[in-house]
Amino acid sequence: MTKRIITAALLLGTVSAFAPLAHAEMAGSVETETRRVPGLERPAEIVVDFWGIPHIYAANERDAFFLQGYNAARDRLWQIDLWRKRGLGRLSESFGPAYVEQDRAARLFLFRGDMDKEWSAYGPKAKGYTQAFVEGINAYVDQVADGTLELPIQFKASNSRPERWSPEDVVRIRSHGLTRNATSEVERARVACLAGLRADALRAKLEPAWTTKVPDGLDPCLVPEDVLKDYELATKGVSFSPETQRDAALDARSFLAASRGKRDTIGSNNWVVAPERTETGRPILANDPHRAHGVPSLRYIVHLNAPGLSVIGAGEPSLPGISIGHNGTIAFGLTIFAIDQEDLYVYETNPGNPNQYRYGDGWEDMRVERETVAVKGGAPQEVELRYTRHGAVLRSDPAKNRAFALRTVWLEPGTSAYFGSSDYMTARNWDEFKAAMDRFATPSENQVYADTGGNIGWIAAGMTPRRTNWDGLLPVPGDGRYEWGFFTRSDLPSVYNPADGWFATANQMNLPADHPAAEKPIGFEWANPSRYQRIAEVLSADDHVSLNDAMRLQNDDGSMVGRRIAKLFAGQPAPADALERQAFDGLRNWDGQVRADSAAAAVAEIMVAGPLGRETVKLAVPEPARAIVDDGDIGAVLDLLEAPDDRLGTDPRGARERILSAALTTAVAKAKDLMGDDPSDWRWGAIHRALFVPDVAPLLSASDKAQMSVGPLAIGGSASTPRATSYGPDFGVRAGASFRMVLDVGNWDASRTINTPGQSGDPMSPHYRDLAPLWAAGAYVPLLYSRGAVETSAAEVLKLTP
C-alpha cells in the first residue's frame, strides 16, 4: 500500500480539518484485492481506512465474527498466537526448555470447570461468536501454513509457527485480567510480621478510611516472601531475553521488588457528559484505558457490520467483539473499579501426607493433576498441579506443615477477562446495558454509558466476593473459617442521569459516601485520586464541553500530586547550594503541570520516583520493613508530610524539613547526572520518552531491532496526570493510554480515536507505526461509522469470497 501523508491538520484542536484532508491530501487510488477465504459463508468486504481501522461488512453475524478473527490474524497474528501459547502453558513447545516453569504456572490458572456452565454464563450468543472468530483465525493460519500468505517476521526470528485455535482456548485462559489484591496481601503480611500494621499505612493507603487487623488464626510471619512466584509467572508476559531462566527463579526479596514496580501502572480514565453541558447538545463519552505499552498495542480498533449488528470500537485482539465503543444507539467505556477479587489461603498440612490439608475437623485431599509439557529441543517434562477447594496451590512448606493457595474470582465460570462485553455491546438502552452487567465478571470495571436519547450513566460491574468476617486485606487460614459468597449486581453502585450532568472515573475510590464498608468490604486499595481530581476540576467548570475539550483533557498534564509538592516546598527554607536553590525556586513556583518542556516537572517526578517516599519511610517505618514499604504510596506519603505526626519522631515538623531537603538534594543530583549541570537545560521530556520495542527484540540483529522499534518520543504527563504516562526506573514511559476514544454520541462520524503506535503488528505494514507521532502530540484520527464516510476514507478494500 502506498504510504499516505498525514499532516499537522490532524493535530488536536483542528477537528474540522479532518473532512477536507480525507478528500484532498490523503486522496489516492484505493488498493483492492480479491481473496478466497475457505470457511466464509457469503461474499464480504473489509474496508481499511487511511488510519488502518478495518470496517468489516458481512452478510450475516457469523461471517462478521469469522472475519474479525481472520483480520485479527492478518494484523496481529504474532501477538494473538503468543497470547494463546502463554495462556495455555505451551511456550516450551515452541521456544524451548527455558519456559517450562512459566508453562507449569500458566496451567495452574487455566479454567478447568464445566464448559457448559462456562459458555452459558456469557449469554446465548457468546459461544457462536467465539466459534466463528477462531474459525477465522484458523483460516488465516491455514493460508500461512500452505504458503498462500507470508509468515510474519516474528515467527521467523523465533523459529516458530502459528497454531490453530479451539473456541475453548479463548475462555479457558484467565491469566491476562487485571485483578487484585494478592500481591498487596503478601506485602502487608510481611510488614505486619516485621514492624506491625501501622507501618503498612505508608505502603498502601486504605479507602474508605479503614483499620485492618490480622485475621484470627493467621501468623503473618509464616507467609513466605516469594509465595506468589507461580502467580507472577502465570500472569507475566513472555520474555525472549537471556535472563528468562534466571527470572523464573528470582530470590524472594528481588521477586517482591519486581512485583512492587507494577503499582499505579495500570488504570484508565473515562467520563460522560450530558447534553445540557456540551457544546453539541449531545452526550460526549470519553475513554482512555491505561495498559503496558508495546508494539503493537494491547487494544485493536475494529468495526463489525452485518444485518442487525453494527459495533465499532476497541477490544482485546484475541477476543471476539469489542469492549469499548458504540453500536449506533448506545456508547460505552470502562476503567478499573477496584473490587478485591483475590485471597491467599494458608493451610496446615498433614505431617503424614503433604497433599492433605486441615479443613473443619478433618483432613481434606488436594486434587492432584499431572500433565506433560512438550519441550522444543528437549525431552517432554511432567509437571504436577495441585488444588485445594479454594484454588491453585502456589507453594508448600513441608518443614512447617504449611501450604498456600490462591482463590481468585477469575477461576469461577464466566469470568474470562473482558469476555462479558459480548453481551453488553449489543444492548439498546440503559436497562439492557445494566442487565448485561450480570455477565461481566472480570476485570471489575467502572462502566460508563451514553445513548442517542441523551441519557448518561455509570455502573460498577464485576464479580464481587462477599466476605462476612474479614476485610480481604491479609491472607487467611484455609480451614473453613473464611469463606466467600458473592454480592449481586444490585449490591454495587450505579448512577443514571447524574444531577451534575457529568460523571467521571479514574480508578479512584468512588464508592458512595454512605457505603457501609464494614458490611460490604468491596475493596480498600484504589488508585491515587490525582487524575480524577484534575478531570473533575475541568469538567465541573465547563458547561459547554466540546469534543476538542474532551481530547485536550485526555492529554492534560495537570497533576494534583505536583501541586501538593509545590505547596510543601513553598513553606520550606531555601537550600544553601546554588544548584539546589535554582531547582527549589522552580518547584515553589511550579503550577503542577507535568509538561515535557518543564524543568520543575523533571525535578518533581524524580523525587516522586523514589527520594521523597524513601526519605519519609526511613524515618516513619522501622528498619526491618523498609525494603517492603520501599518508597511507599505517594498519597500516604504526602498526607504524612502535610500533617506530620509522631511517626516522624519527637519533632515531626523538623523531620519534614529534613525529608524535603534530602529528597531535593537526591533529585537534583539525579537530574544533573541525567541532564547536565545547567538547570535551564533540564526538561521532563528529555528523560521521559516513549520507546516501543517489540517483544522479539532480543532475537533480532541490532539493525532489525532498530527498524522494528518505534520512538523514542518525548512526552509529558505522569502516573498522576490525566495524560497518564507511568514510567520505570529510567523514567522511560512504560504504561499509559495507548488507545483513546472520544465519542460524539449520535453524530458518530465526528468521533475521534488514536491507537499507538499503529493498528498493525506487521513491521512491513504502513499501519505499524503511523499513529505514534500523532499520539505523542495529543492528536486523533476519525472513528468513522457511516458507510459513506468509510468509503470516502478507504485506503484498501479486501473483497473476500468463500
726-768 per-position pLDDT tens digit: 999 999 999 999 999 999 999 999 999 999 999 999 999 999 9
User: How confident is the model at residue 72, as a pLDDT?
Assistant: 99
Looking at the domain assignment, is residue 612 inside a domain?
Answer: yes
pLDDT digits over 251-280, tens only?
Answer: 444 444 444 444 445 689 999 999 999 999
CA distance 523 to 422: 26
Q: What is the DSSP letter of 29?
A: P
Residue 134 has pLDDT above 70, yes or no: yes
Looking at the domain assignment, is residue 589 inside a domain?
Answer: yes
Residue 98 confidence class, pLDDT cut points 50, 70, 90: very high
Looking at the domain assignment, is residue 173 inside a domain?
Answer: no
**Looking at the structure, do residues 516 and 614 belong to the same domain, yes or no?**
no
CA distance 626 to 253: 12
**Looking at the structure, do residues 308 and 447 belong to the same domain, yes or no?**
yes
Q: Which of 638, 663, 682 is the last residue of a domain?
A: 682
Looking at the domain assignment, is residue 420 inside a domain?
Answer: yes
Tell me whether residue 490 is one of the annotated catalytic residues: no
**Looking at the structure, do residues 223 and 346 belong to the same domain, yes or no?**
yes
User: How confident is the model at residue 175, as a pLDDT?
Assistant: 85
Q: Which of 411, 429, 463 is the last residue of a domain?
A: 411
Residues 194/628, Cβ–Cβ less than 8 Å: yes
Residue 2 has pLDDT above 70, yes or no: no
Q: Is residue 340 marked as binding?
A: yes
**Looking at the structure, do residues 613 and 675 belong to the same domain, yes or no?**
yes
Looking at the domain assignment, is residue 500 inside a domain?
Answer: yes
User: How confident is the model at residue 265, as a pLDDT?
Assistant: 53
Looking at the domain assignment, is residue 114 inside a domain?
Answer: no
CATH of the domain at 529: 3.60.20.10
Q: Is residue 116 marked as binding?
A: no
**Looking at the structure, do residues 429 and 352 belong to the same domain, yes or no?**
no
pLDDT digits over 561-593, tens only?
Answer: 999 999 999 999 999 999 999 999 999 999 999
Rounded to 5 degrees, φ, ψ at 18 are: -60, -45
pLDDT digits over 296-330, tens only?
Answer: 999 999 999 999 999 999 999 999 999 999 999 99
CB atoms < 10 A from the CB of 109, how many?
A: 25
pTM of the model: 0.94
CATH of the domain at 229: 2.30.120.10
Residue 10 has pLDDT above 60, yes or no: no
**Looking at the structure, do residues 436 and 475 belong to the same domain, yes or no?**
yes
**Looking at the structure, do residues 421 and 546 belong to the same domain, yes or no?**
yes
Long-range contacts of 43-46 (CB under 8 A, 24+ apart): 43/799, 43/800, 43/801, 43/802, 44/800, 45/797, 45/798, 45/799, 45/800, 46/71, 46/797, 46/798, 46/800
Residue 27 confidence class, pLDDT cut points 50, 70, 90: low
CA distance 609 to 709: 26
Residue 196 has pLDDT above 60, yes or no: yes
CA distance 234 to 655: 43
Nearest to 417, CA basis, from 494, 316, 337, 335: 316
CA distance 427 to 421: 10
One-letter-per-residue 3-state SS of 600-661: HHHHHHHHHCCHHHHHHHHHHCCHHHHHHHCCCCHHHHHHHHHCCCHHHCCCHHHHHHHHHH
Looking at the domain assignment, is residue 142 inside a domain?
Answer: no
Q: Which of 381, 411, 441 is the last residue of a domain?
A: 411
Of the candidates 268, 416, 546, 726, the residue annotated as catalytic is 268
Q: Are strands 300-306 and 54-57 parallel, antiparallel or unpaired?
A: parallel
**Looking at the structure, do residues 248 and 325 belong to the same domain, yes or no?**
no
**Looking at the structure, do residues 304 and 335 belong to the same domain, yes or no?**
yes
pLDDT digits over 614-643, tens only?
Answer: 999 999 999 999 999 999 999 999 999 999
What's the structural domain count of the chain? 3
User: Which residue range forms the structural domain that includes residue 608?
Assistant: 560-593+599-682
Q: For the residues 366-394, what does the mean pLDDT come to?
A: 98
**Looking at the structure, do residues 534 and 669 belong to the same domain, yes or no?**
no
Residue 247 has pLDDT above 70, yes or no: no
Q: Is residue 288 marked as binding?
A: no
CATH of the domain at 674: 1.10.1400
Looking at the domain assignment, is residue 55 inside a domain?
Answer: no
**Looking at the structure, do residues 393 and 468 belong to the same domain, yes or no?**
no
**Looking at the structure, do residues 256 and 202 belong to the same domain, yes or no?**
yes
Residue 406 has pLDDT above 90, yes or no: yes
